[in-house]
Amino acid sequence: MNKTDLVHELAARTDVERRDVVKVVNALLDVVRTTVAKGGRVTLADFGTFERVRRAARVGRNPHTGEAVKIPATVKPAFRPGRGFLKAAAPRRRKRTTRKATRRR
């Protein structure tokens, strides 16, 4: 699903005009983008958290030569799914119950 599909689905579910839904979706994405860019965190209960994560400097290897290459520290955006989102997206499988062996008499 892309942004256009999301807008159409939200408009259909909420009986709100499509152009108003576009404004709301754009505003939501802008708030998340600017908050995370400033180093903040956006948490939506049962959905997840958008935040900025620091990656430490490290040493990597050039796969062709095997030479050590310094990789500088970076900052990147990250999303951690919430418990409700995880349950909806990837429900746990039920554990198999093992039957206890019964003795024959």
Residue 95 falls within a domain, yes or no? no
Claim to verify: residue 5 and residue 26 sit in the same structural domain: yes
Structure tokens at 98: 């093992």
Claim to verify: residue 34 and residue 54 sit in the same structural domain: no
Containing structural domain, residue 4: 1-38
Answering whether pTM is above 0.75, one says no
- The string of pLDDT tens digits covering residues 12-52 is 999 999 999 999 999 999 999 999 999 999 999 999 999 99
Res. 99 pLDDT band, cuts 50 70 90: low
Claim to verify: residue 32 and residue 67 sit in the same structural domain: no
CA separation for the pair 86, 80 (Å, rounded): 10
What is the model's pLDDT at position 92?
Answer: 75
Distances (CA, A) of 36 to 9, 14, 83, 84: 26, 28, 21, 22
Residue 73 falls within a domain, yes or no? yes
Residue 66 falls within a domain, yes or no? yes
